[in-house]
Structures are given as C-alpha cells and as structure tokens.
Chain A
Amino acid sequence: MTVRSGASAAATAGIALIALFAFVAIFADLLAPYDYTVQSRTLPNAPISTVAFTDDAGNFSLRPRIFASKMTDALRQTYEADTSRSAKIKLFAKGYDYRLLGFIPVDRHIFGTTDKDIRLNLLGTDALGRDRLSRLITAIRFSLIVCTIGAVLASLLGIMIGLVGGYAGKAVDTMIAGVADAVISLPAMIVILAARVAFPLELPPFTAAMLLIGLFTFTGWAEMTRLTRGLVKRTRTLDYITAARISGLSGARILLRHILPNIARPLLTQTTLILPAFLLAEATLSFLGVGLQEPEPSLGNMLAAASDLTQLREHTFVLLSPAIVIALFVLAVRLTNTGINTNEDREVI
C-alpha cells in the first residue's frame, strides 16, 4: 500500500514538473523579462540583482526594489550594488513586443522594473550582458519543441516499421530486425555527429532545429521498432486476431484497428523515455557547437559558458542553471514513468 501511494506521489510530482515545463515553453515570451538577444556591454557577467524590501528612506516596505549593479573591477568583472540608483519591481511591465500563443500581440511581461535602465537579472547576465533568465526560458522552449517533435516523429516511424516487421513475412522481418539492431547497437552520439558533417557547420536557427529533429528521427526509430515488433509478434497469435483474419479483414486493417490499440500503452511509455535522451543529445550537440548556435540560446550552448573555470567558480549556480533544468526534466520524466508503471502493474502487455 505504501509503495503504491509513494509511487503515485512520484507520478504526481513528475507530471506537475512536466506541466510546469510545458507552461514555460508555451508562455516563454510572457515569462522572459527581456529580449534574449539584447546585450548590455556595461554589465558583462553581472551577478544576480540585489533585491531589497525597503523604500527610499530605508524603512521596510512590502514592495521590493532592486539596486543597479556597478562594476568595481573591469578586469575581474566584479560588481557591487549601487545603493544610490534603484528601481521598483513591477508586475506585468511593458517590454518588447511579441505574440502570445503565436497570434495575440502583447508587450507585457510577467515582471519588470519601473526604470528601464536598471534591469532585474534574476540569474545575472552572460558574457555579453544578456539577461540569463530570459535566455534560459527561450532555451527551454527551443529544446522542448525540438525534442517533442523529434520523439513523436521517431516513434511514428519506428512504430510503422515495427508493425510491418512484426506482421510481414520472415524475410522482410529479418531484414528490418537486422537494421534496427545495428542502429541500436551503434553509439547514437557518434552516428549523429558523423551525419552532422553532411551539413554546413553553421546554420540558421530554423534549419538547425529541422536538422536536429531529422537526426533524432534517423537514430531514434530503431528502439521503437524493436519494441513494436516484439509486441506485434506476441499479439498476432491471440485468438481475436485469428478471428479477425478469418473474417477476411485486410492486413493493414488488422494491424491498425486491432493490434495497435492493444499495444499502445507500452509504446507510449517508450516515447516518453526517448524524450529525455533527445534533450540530452540536443544539449550535447549545442554544447559542442554543432547544434543550435549563438545568438540563439539552447541549454547546451549556454552550458558551454561553464567551461570557463574562473567564471564557473565565481558564478557556479547561474552557470549551471541550464544543467539543473536538464536534470529536472529527466527527473520529471523518470518519476512519471516509475509512478505509472508501478500503478498499472505489468499485466497490461
């Protein structure tokens, strides 16, 4: 009993986290306080803004305000709070224009400050003075979109090939199984890197996204095919399939209407399992500089800044924030899956 409730608590936590990620991805522009490309050359590698709950006279106030950051050493890039300049934090402040959900023109952002020149950098700024939180939010959106589309396409392709393999004759099946096993056993990362060379190293963001999706589909389908094949083979000998065949239904109809619905659940689980793998792959490629490239932010190319060890020692948390996001996402998917699998038991298959 305790195991079950523990498992469902894990599933709830996981689903809540995934919902949060989806929310961030959908409302990225609303949640990002600043344009992720706007640089501030006077504030490179600035720390997290100093927030104080005081008014101008120094008394306690519920309305928080922030102080401007002042560079104290240009060479070592150290900062201190400039107490003479401050701005109040404002909810739904005016900022850059964007389209909410892709069609409603808006210029409000969830928070901002009363003074445009004093920026609230909740995660500090990067080496070019860009707001790191805004970049992180945009990166989450990019990664989630690319990985979700990649996972769906890879799954669909894998399921299609697997259905054919599981149901077709021995020769076709053996060939499909051979190719799938070969693709699975090769290290995906090296295959993706090798295939990446076939395209120019520097790509505009949209092309880069399409390419990443293509590469993920190209390497990700095999796992799905293996699973589908196995499930189809186990199902096709069942009585109701024999009944369907005797009543003269076509092979395609039996596959799609009778077999597929009954093996859908484990296939869905597998789809959610490849999602974090793709997220990691995207981060790795962008980290190596062959995925999404500057000035567009991605979880990987933001992490590349952490290779600067002096910076990493000074700003450990903010530099590793993309990694924390990746870890949280992987954790969320794992929690959801363990929870669901424990609850549903294994009798499903």
Chain B
Amino acid sequence: MLLLITSAAAFFLLSSSGSDAFTSLRENPQVSAATIEKLRASYGLDRPVIERYGAWLASAVRADLGESFYYQVPVTGLVLVRFWSTALLAFAAIGLACVVAVGLSFANVRYRSRTLSIFIDAVILIFASTPRIVISLFSLAVLVSGAINSVFLLSTISLAVPLVAILLAQFGQSLNDAMHEDFIRTARAKGLSETTIILRHAMRAAINPALTLFGLSLGALLGGSVIVETVIGRPGIGSLTVTAVRNRDIPLLMGVMIVVSLAVWAGNTLAEILQLVNDKRIRALEAE
C-alpha cells in the first residue's frame, strides 16, 4: 500500500515536470524538434501520464522496472546489484558502529572513569558535527596516499562515523539508565561480578531503544551512501541515484525509490521482530 502511494507520487511528480531524458537534446541545434518527438514516441513518452503509470505498474508487479535511459540495461538487475553492494557497506558500517559504541559504553559503565566519559562526550560531539562530505574527502585522501588500500574499508568508516555518534549517545544513555534499575541491584545482591551484571542484565535492557534506532538509521545510511559513494567513487545505490538525477533517468530513479522503500520497510520490520524476541515485556503487552 505504502509502495503504491510512494511510486504513484514519485511517478506523477517526475512525469508532470515536463522534462525527461531528452530535454537537454532540445538545446542541441543539430537535433530537430521532430526527431525528439520521434524519440520520445519510441519510448512511449508521448502517451498520457496515467496510461504510462498503469503500464509501469503492470510490469513492476512482475519485477520488471523498465529500462534505464542512461545505461540502456534493465533497471531491476542494475538496481539490485548496486543495492546489494551498498547493503553490504551499510551492514559493515552498522557492525563497526556497534562494536565501537557498545565497547565504549561498556567500558564507561564498568570502570566509571571521568576521563573516559569526557572522551565519549567529545567523540559524540565531534563525530556528530563533522559533515559526511569531509569524512569522505578525508577517506579519499587516505585512499590516494596509499596508506589504506581498501575502498570498502574506507567507505565503511566514512559511513559509520555519524552513526557511531548517534548510537553512542543513545546506547550509552540507556545502558546508564539500566544500571540504576532494581533488577541490577538484585543481581548485585546475588553476588554476580560487575562484568556479568552489565553483559547479561543491563545490556539486554538497554538494547531495545538501540534496535528502534537501527530501523531508522537504515534510511539514514542509504541517504549517507549518496555522498560517500560519489566522493570515493564506489558503485552503489547512492552513486546510482546521483547518476540517475544528473541524466534525468526517470525509470532508474523509480527503481531506486522502490528498492530503497522496500529495504527501509524490511529494516523496520526486522528491528521490530528483534525487539519482540529480546524483550518479554513487549510480548506480554501484545498478548493482552
């Protein structure tokens, strides 16, 4: 349902604008208006918008999203390949951000060091304030200098930096809150070691708000890939979007929008399921 609305809105907005892949040809004196009309007709662009949307929708349900004007290949395959490449990147970035954020938060509540907590605040502030463009440019400079030779690693780091700030702020806070709960006092009274208490009891309580964040950050990561992939020059869904925009490749853009919406929806659903698995309280609530 959501997909239908998104696709229809996008299609009508893009089609009603009166500009398409051949608009730029009008400025070329060697191409006559008649030639352009013929070209548009051969792609079916002269038919009314509703008719075109109908045709698009009919083939879209068969997973055929048309052909890209710019690349001259079927959109479905192209978008899926590029999406997979970015999805790997996004997962790596989430993993990296998790390791850093969970590690630092754990060390913070375990050792309660003043220096460490100031360090964490500084990391949050700096990481959240640095524009992604700068991080990407920095990664590009590192790449060119040859110090680190992996495009994937550098893209992952560029994508992960702002996420680390968000996760660290959120997870650090909820872990801290969890440490003041009654069940932690119970665990302490049982004589469990501090490390066990944090790992087994506090983490589990703190992880749910972070899971909600996951679903939301998936969209942000896909958006962030636009800059990272364009600057570093890695083929993915982000750089594909930019190419599609620059060449007014509307079928390709539609494909990108559909796949991205699907991915975000899947991410949110996955986060919800994981929350259910993790927290008995929500399950109890749903059962009522």
A residues contacting B by CB (< 8 A) are: 178-179, 182, 184-191, 193-201, 280, 283-284, 287-290, 300, 303, 306-307, 309, 312-313, 320, 323, 326-328, 330-331, 334-335
Task: Determine the chain A residues whose CB is within 8 A of the CB of B13 once the complex forms.
Answer: 195, 198
Task: Assess A189 versus B125: contact at CB under 8 Å? Given A194-B14, A201-B246.
Answer: no
> A263 to chain B: closest CB distance in Å?
23
Whether the pair A326, B131 counts as a contact (CB closer than 8 A) is yes
> A307 to chain B: closest CB distance in Å?
7
Q: Does B270 contact A (CB under 8 A)?
A: no
Q: Does B140 contact A (CB under 8 A)?
A: yes
Q: Is the interface of B mostly helix, strand, loop or mixed?
A: helix
Whether the pair B226, A189 counts as a contact (CB closer than 8 A) is yes
Number of interface residues of B (CB under 8 A): 50
Whether the pair B223, A189 counts as a contact (CB closer than 8 A) is yes
Whether the pair A187, B227 counts as a contact (CB closer than 8 A) is no
Task: Determine the chain B residues whose CB is within 8 A of the CB of A288 once the complex forms.
Answer: 226-227, 230, 242, 245
Whether the pair A194, B261 counts as a contact (CB closer than 8 A) is no
* A-contacting 9-mer, from B29-37, B94-102, B250-258: B250-258
Q: Does B109 contact A (CB under 8 A)?
A: no
Task: Assess A193 versus B242: contact at CB under 8 Å? Given A185-B268, A186-B264, A187-B219.
Answer: yes
Whether the pair B261, A197 counts as a contact (CB closer than 8 A) is no
Task: Assess A309 versus B17: contact at CB under 8 Å? Given A185-B219, A186-B219.
Answer: no
Interface readout for B34-54 with A: 1 if CB under 8 Å, 0 if not? Answer: 000000000000000000000
Whether the pair B222, A320 counts as a contact (CB closer than 8 A) is no
User: In the assembly, what is the distance between CA of A199 and CA of B2, in Å?
Assistant: 25
B residues contacting A by CB (< 8 A) are: 2, 5-6, 10, 13-14, 16-17, 19, 23, 125, 128-134, 137, 140-141, 144, 215-216, 219-224, 226-227, 230-231, 238, 241-242, 244-246, 248, 250, 253, 256-257, 260-261, 264-265, 268
A284 (CB) vs chain B CBs: closest residue:
B227
User: In the assembly, what is the distance between CA of A328 and CA of B134, in Å?
Assistant: 13
Whether the pair A182, B245 counts as a contact (CB closer than 8 A) is no
User: In the assembly, what is the distance between CA of A193 and CA of B14, in Å?
Assistant: 11
Whether the pair B133, A323 counts as a contact (CB closer than 8 A) is yes
Task: Assess A194 versus B253: contact at CB under 8 Å? Given A187-B220, A309-B141.
Answer: yes
> A180 to chain B: closest CB distance in Å?
12
Whether the pair A185, B265 counts as a contact (CB closer than 8 A) is yes
Task: Assess A284 versus B14: contact at CB under 8 Å? Given A306-B137, A327-B129.
Answer: no
Whether the pair B131, A187 counts as a contact (CB closer than 8 A) is no
Sample of 26 A–B contacts (CB below 8 Å): A182-B2, A182-B5, A184-B216, A186-B261, A187-B219, A187-B223, A187-B260, A188-B219, A189-B224, A190-B241, A193-B241, A194-B256, A197-B17, A197-B248, A198-B13, A200-B23, A283-B131, A283-B133, A284-B132, A303-B134, A306-B137, A309-B140, A323-B134, A326-B131, A331-B129, A335-B125
Instruction: State which of A187, A198, A328, A330 has its C-beta within 8 Å of the C-beta of B264.
Output: A187
Task: Determine the chain A residues whose CB is within 8 A of the CB of B219 once the complex forms.
Answer: 185-188
> A199 to chain B: closest CB distance in Å?
7
User: In the assembly, what is the distance between CA of A327 and CA of B131, in Å?
Assistant: 6
Task: Determine the chain B residues whose CB is within 8 A of the CB of A303 once the complex forms.
Answer: 133-134, 137
User: In the assembly, what is the distance between CA of A16 and CA of B264, in Å?
Assistant: 39
Task: Determine the chain A residues whose CB is within 8 A of the CB of B131 once the complex forms.
Answer: 280, 283, 323, 326-327, 330
CB-based closest 7 A-B pairs: A187-B223, A189-B223, A198-B17, A187-B219, A323-B134, A330-B129, A331-B129
A326 (CB) vs chain B CBs: closest residue:
B131
B254 (CB) vs chain A CBs: closest residue:
A194
Whether the pair B264, A307 counts as a contact (CB closer than 8 A) is no
Task: Determine the chain B residues whose CB is within 8 A of the CB of A331 once the complex forms.
Answer: 125, 129
User: In the assembly, what is the distance between CA of A188 and CA of B268, in Å?
Assistant: 16
Task: Determine the chain A residues whose CB is within 8 A of the CB of B257 once the complex forms.
Answer: 190-191, 194
Whether the pair A186, B6 counts as a contact (CB closer than 8 A) is yes
A194 (CB) vs chain B CBs: closest residue:
B253
B131 (CB) vs chain A CBs: closest residue:
A326
Task: Assess A307 versus B10: contact at CB under 8 Å? Given A190-B241, A201-B246.
Answer: no
Task: Assess A186 versus B260: contact at CB under 8 Å? Given A288-B230, A309-B144, A323-B131.
Answer: yes
User: In the assembly, what is the distance between CA of A65 and CA of B238, in Å?
Assistant: 49
Task: Determine the chain B residues whose CB is within 8 A of the CB of A190 once the complex forms.
Answer: 222-223, 226, 238, 241, 256-257, 260
> A273 to chain B: closest CB distance in Å?
11
Task: Determine the chain A residues whose CB is within 8 A of the CB of B16 once the complex forms.
Answer: 198
User: In the assembly, what is the distance between CA of A188 and CA of B241, in Å?
Assistant: 13
A199 (CB) vs chain B CBs: closest residue:
B17
B2 (CB) vs chain A CBs: closest residue:
A182
User: In the assembly, what is the distance between CA of A28 and CA of B121, in Å?
Assistant: 34
Task: Determine the chain A residues whose CB is within 8 A of the CB of B264 once the complex forms.
Answer: 185-187
User: In the assembly, what is the distance between CA of A123 and CA of B216, in Å?
Assistant: 39
Task: Report which residue of A178, A184, A185 has the largest number of chain B beta carbons within 10 angstroms of its beta carbon.
Answer: A185
User: In the assembly, what is the distance between CA of A201 and CA of B265, in Å?
Assistant: 30
Task: Report which residue of B133, B134, B227, B260 has the largest number of chain A beta carbons within 10 angstroms of its beta carbon.
Answer: B133
User: In the assembly, what is the distance between CA of A178 and CA of B22, in Å?
Assistant: 36
Given contacts A186-B260, A193-B242, A200-B19, 20 further A-B contacts (CB under 8 A): A178-B2, A185-B265, A187-B222, A189-B227, A190-B257, A197-B14, A198-B17, A283-B133, A287-B227, A290-B245, A300-B133, A309-B140, A320-B137, A323-B131, A323-B134, A323-B137, A327-B129, A327-B131, A328-B129, A330-B131
Whether the pair B133, A194 counts as a contact (CB closer than 8 A) is no
User: In the assembly, what is the distance between CA of A194 and CA of B257, in Å?
Assistant: 8
B222 (CB) vs chain A CBs: closest residue:
A187
User: In the assembly, what is the distance between CA of A207 and CA of B223, in Å?
Assistant: 24
